[in-house]
Chains A and B, each alone.
Chain A
């Protein structure tokens, strides 16, 4: 069955606001990566976490392997943040992707 459950599947935010994406795992994962798929279809690396939290600008991610989840927080959302966000959990040397969250930012 699915090992990575990502939510929500779609999210609409007004500029300047924030929210969180979440991935739950059905088993213990070694690490997690977060990506954003841009308008050209490329996967842009956002974070790689083996544990704890990382922050980069308006984005912050956390990973708790014991509790089997990871989150991606976006604050002060801007129009250019629009896109589809994926989490991917690492187990056994391979990545298992979540279903993606389509994020739309409204002026």
Chain B
């Protein structure tokens, strides 16, 4: 079956430092990978969508300078939260799909980021 793993599951970083999180797709080709954030008391908010052979598209309020994303192959993606501050805390989800197969987007369990 299709699975998405995320690492780490939980992390704590000091304010002003950076934190990298990874996403691994297993059992299907992650043609596109979307990164979401769920801030406390809020729903999931799209950060950016990365599709193989296309430029990464960032949503309003999110920038490449703050959340650089790498999507080097059809099974892996990473995102870094640069210069993290309190407002960056939350659950970061990676959602991957295979445009050539079913359209269902599969989600990893998320990386929970705490900023001190």
Question: Which A residues have a C-beta under 8 Å from some C-beta of B?
Answer: 31, 33, 35, 40-43, 45, 48, 50, 86, 88, 90, 93-100
Contact = CB atoms under 8 A, between A and B. Distances in A.
Most buried by A among B32, B59, B105, B108: B105
A100 B41 CA distance: 10
B104 interface: yes
B89 interface: no
Nearest to B45: A97
A36 B107 CA distance: 11
Given A41-B91, A98-B43, A100-B43, A93 B49 contact: yes
A94 B49 contact: yes
B61 to A, nearest CB: 14
B75 to A, nearest CB: 19
A31 B51 CA distance: 19
B90 to A, nearest CB: 12
Nearest to B112: A41
B102 to A, nearest CB: 7
A42 B107 contact: yes
Contacts of A42: 107-110
B105 A40 contact: no
A96 B34 CA distance: 11
Nearest to A95: B105
